[in-house]
Amino acid sequence: MQYRMRQNAFTMAEVLITIGIIGLVAAMTLHSLVNNSRNKELESRFKKSYSFIAQTIQLVIENEYGGVTELSQSDYYEFGNHLKKYAGNTRKVGDVRWGTSYSANFMIEKYKTYTNNTFSGMFNDYAFYTSNNDATVFLDTGHLSSLPDLFIAIDINSIDNKPNRSGFDLFGFYVDKKGRLLPFGDLNSPYPENRYCTGTSTDKNNGLGCTRKALIDPKYFTKLH
């Protein structure tokens, strides 16, 4: 009887190996659960933020432009101020002067690209927290003749919360001359998806072209890692 008990008993090495395997599987499972939970939260916030800004732009057009608009490049600064009045609050974003080189450096310090590289520093004209503090909106008022539209970036969980990465919680849009909110990533945008939403690019604007994909691909957020 004693002989059989010795035969069936585990050695200390076997016990330690088993515990190690269980720990490894548990760690991998926990990481996957945390990642899935984060991605679901990002997806929910993306839909909410997009809807909020799109509706606010329509309010601006209806109330400030009589429902019809033909914006020129010189109108975008005023349009941006209207957007801030309707959607924002008085809380200051960062201790910088927006519209200067300091704010560009601020964006570079705060954000990374889709592939976790250095961000370009765009959207540095001015910024505001949304009225409910859920998101942060950044504006670039189209000061370059080659990029004439009003650019809008939305940090869907605010600048105060990670991951602060383009294509993860920072998404780019543009407002065309008709006042339509359009996603970066479409073929007519300055940042098409095939160039600015890739897992290999080191371009400083990589990730800006992911907005269209996030809107139309139901599995977009589940694939983030």
pLDDT for 44: 94
Query: Quick check: 46 and 222 in contact, CB under 8 A?
Result: no
User: Is 211 part of a structural domain of the chain?
Assistant: yes
Contacts of 146 (CB under 8 A, 6+ apart): none
User: Is 123 part of a structural domain of the chain?
Assistant: yes
- Range in 46-50, 140-144, 159-163, 206-210 the model is least confident about: 140-144
Residue type, 149: D
User: Is 27 part of a structural domain of the chain?
Assistant: no
pTM for this entry: 0.83
User: Is 30 part of a structural domain of the chain?
Assistant: no
User: Is 26 part of a structural domain of the chain?
Assistant: no
Contacts of 41 (CB under 8 A, 6+ apart): 157
User: Is 64 part of a structural domain of the chain?
Assistant: yes
Of 106, 56, 109, 122, nearest to 84 by C-alpha is 56
Residue 101 or residue 98, greater confidence: 98
The pLDDT of residue 211 is above 90: yes
pLDDT tens, 65-100?
888 778 887 788 888 889 999 999 989 998 888 888
Tally the residues of the chain.
225
Structure tokens at 177: 């001359």
Structure tokens at 192: 């098409």
DSSP 185-197: BBTTSSSBHHHHS
User: Is 34 part of a structural domain of the chain?
Assistant: no
Segment 163-171 shows an average pLDDT of 97
User: Is 7 part of a structural domain of the chain?
Assistant: no
> How far is it, in rounded angstroms, from Cα 155 to Cα 165?
9
How confident is residue 56, by pLDDT bands cut at 50, 70 and 90?
very high
pLDDT for 111: 97
How many domains, the chain? 1
Structure tokens at 193: 């998806």
Structure tokens at 127: 């910024």
pLDDT for 209: 96
Contacts of 118 (CB under 8 A, 6+ apart): 108, 112, 204
In the chain, % of residues over pLDDT 70: 85
pLDDT tens, 124-142?
888 999 998 899 999 988 6
How confident is residue 7, by pLDDT bands cut at 50, 70 and 90?
low
pLDDT for 156: 97
> How far is it, in rounded angstroms, from Cα 176 to Cα 72?
9
Burial status of residue 223 (CB atoms within 10 A of its CB: 0-12, 13-18, 19 or more) = exposed
How confident is residue 149, by pLDDT bands cut at 50, 70 and 90?
confident
Where in the sequence is the domain holding 71, given as residue range(s)? 39-223
Other residues' Cβ atoms within 10 Å of the Cβ of residue 1: 4
pLDDT tens, 19-55?
767 666 655 565 565 567 788 999 999 999 999 999 9
pLDDT for 9: 65
The pLDDT of residue 1 is above 60: no
Contacts of 2 (CB under 8 A, 6+ apart): none
Structure tokens at 110: 């705060």
